[in-house]
Amino acid sequence: MKPLTQIATKILAAFRKRDQRSLRKLNDEVLKLAGIDRDKVCFDLAIYSYVLSKVVSKPRYLDKEYEQSLKGIAQVFQMIVDKMESPDQDELIALFSDLENALAHLEEKDPRFIVDLVTKGRLKMAATLYAQGIGLGVAAEMTGLDKQEILDYAGETMMFDRLKEEMTIEERLKNARKFLSG
Amino acid sequence: MTKDILCDSGVLISLTAGCLDRMIYFFSETQKVRFIIPPSVEYETVTKPMQANLRKHLFSAIRIKDAIEDGVVSVVDAKLERETNKIMSCANNLFYIKGSPIRLMQYGESEMLALGQELGIDYILIDERTTRLLIEAPFHLKQHLETEFQTNVMVNKGNFKELASRISTFKALRSSELVMLAYEKGYFKNFNGLEKQALEAALYKMKYSGCSISFDEILDYVTRVG
């Protein structure tokens, strides 16, 4: 079994157990792989492990009225796991679209935010890739999001405080003043 | 004498979204600064949000369009596909993790650098951190990647030299430095008695919009002007 298939299997098991902590850990694991491999399936797994962790963290989704929707999500994810080793990647990618639809169906009963869970997942993944050192444009391209969406998200994190700059602000200003003085 | 500076899409959007786009006019009028963008930046900041009706960014797009029509932001199309691809290829085959190259740069960012090279422009206004680090401290970026991915990062020396010969002479400014310069040149004077607070607020606005500046750097500057 390929490492990605193992991760997908674990994601499904954690979702069925409504185990948010494990889902977040699996998300970290798969995201690191996505940054290096840039594999579409790997990236989708990173997004959906995050989204599923958000779903199980919300008490309202544990109500009976959402039971069928959650079952439907698990069924689509099971199909993804079953197709992980299939040479037909298009079929697998189509299943991720089905998963997105199943999640949209879950949210449409009681929408709370303008940005849906999957877009939020994409945003979080893109910002993480950018924080890791992947270019902003590349992160935008991989997720289909706008650069500014990612910048807005990144601006609300501590990513620019965690990496010490090599130049001081005074050195930067020296350059800036030099520019103006022509 | 006109002073040319290349402008990244992120900076333009942050300035307009932060209601600081008049600063572009201020520099254009008082300091004769010409803000130059390649077509890809115009597409990203104006055409795409307007065509796709991206509600969140529509107002910024209209304001940038206005600045282009007013001539304070100039779109320069130098048709530099070959050089753009060369820069992009060097950057994206520079660092390797476990034998795989790390993709660091996209066409838009490479096109901007190629344009700067072609026009002989030394200064670049950019909030995006990865491209900025590639310009001013590529080994710092390598170390960062090693920390994040907890593994060794290998460098392709040939591509490193090629890339450095093309981009290392650029001097990168962030939107935060533009705000600081604006303050020093009197842009905030109209805020009678609140100039320093306005400066600080504007710097935080840029940070929250994604400008790669730290809280410590803001504090450092604000303390200096004290």
Give me the DSSP letters along chain B. Answer: --EEEEE-HHHHHHHHHTT-THHHHHHHHHH-EEEEE-HHHHIIIIIHHHHTT-HHHHHHHHHHHHHHHTTSEEE-----HHHHHHHHHHHHTSEEETTEEPP---HHHHHHHHHHHHHT--EEE---HHHHHHHH-HHHHHHHHHHHHTS--EE-HHHHHHHHHHHTT-EEE-HHHHHHHHHHTTGGGGSTT-HHHHHHHHHHHHHHTT----HHHHHHHHHHH-
Q: Which of A169, A171, A181 to mutate to test the interface with B (most CBs of B within 10 A)?
A: A169
- What is the pTM for the complete model shown? 0.90
Q: Which of B41, B103, B183 to mutate to test the interface with A (most CBs of A within 10 A)?
A: B103
Tell me the chain A residues in contact with residue B180 when contact means C-beta distances shorter than 8 Å.
Answer: 173, 176
How far, CA to CA in Å, does B44 sit from each of A130, A150, B48, B127, B143?
18, 14, 5, 15, 31
pLDDT in tens, chain B (226 residues): 779 999 999 999 989 988 999 999 999 999 999 999 999 999 999 999 999 888 888 999 999 999 999 999 999 998 899 999 999 999 999 999 989 899 999 998 999 999 999 999 999 999 999 999 999 999 999 999 999 988 999 999 999 999 999 999 999 999 999 999 999 999 999 998 999 999 999 999 999 999 999 999 999 999 998 7
Query: Is any Cβ of chain B less than 8 angstroms from the Cβ of A115?
Result: no
Contact A151 B174 (CB under 8 A): no
Both structure tokens of B93: 């085959």
Tell me the chain B residues in contact with residue A176 when contact means C-beta distances shorter than 8 Å.
Answer: 173, 177-178, 180-181
Query: Is any Cβ of chain B less than 8 angstroms from the Cβ of A32?
Result: yes
Tell me the chain B residues in contact with residue A133 when contact means C-beta distances shorter than 8 Å.
Answer: 102, 104, 130, 133, 141, 144-145, 148
pLDDT in tens, chain A (182 residues): 788 899 999 999 999 999 999 999 999 889 878 767 667 888 899 999 999 999 999 988 888 889 999 999 999 999 999 999 988 888 898 999 999 999 988 888 777 777 788 999 999 999 999 999 999 999 998 888 989 899 999 999 988 988 888 899 999 999 999 999 87
Nearest to B3 among A133, A154, A180 (CB): A180
Distance (Å, rounded) from C-alpha A82 to C-alpha A1? 11
What digits encode the pLDDT tens for the residues B109-152? Answer: 999 999 999 999 999 999 999 999 999 999 999 999 999 988 99
